[in-house]
Amino acid sequence: MSLPKDSFQSAIQDNLITTWKQFIDRMEESLDMLAKGIDEAAEMSSICTSEWCEATEHVIDELSNSIFSISEPRWASDDDSRKIKQLRRRLHDLYAKYKSATR
């Protein structure tokens, strides 16, 4: 059984949209976890060991690579585009907060 071309394309695009939005949501959750860790480190200077700093920088690098490599699909809405820009800005702000917490 084959689907008509429009139905086939629509089904694939709907699947991609759902998966893409889940990916963006997981990135946002990851930034939330990173923010919590940085906030805790800022409150307790003893947490800012060289091991913690190295691990945190690794996480920031991985998130940065993932977030800045996201290409916006042509079907992305304006809200989706704004969300990606917000994630990038938020990561930048978290990095600045991390640097100030480790001084």
pTM here?
Answer: 0.78
Q: Provide the residue ranges of all domains of the chain, joining segments of one domain with +.
A: 56-67+78-103
* pLDDT tens string 43-61: 776 666 788 888 889 999 9
Q: Average model confidence (pLDDT) for the chain?
A: 85
Query: In the prediction, which pLDDT does 5 show?
Result: 61
Q: What is the mean pLDDT of the segment spanning 7-16?
A: 81
- Distances 24 to 4, 5, 42, 49, 54 between C-alpha atoms, Å: 30, 28, 27, 31, 25
Is pLDDT at 8 greater than 80 in this prediction?
no
Is the pLDDT higher at 47 or at 85?
Answer: 85
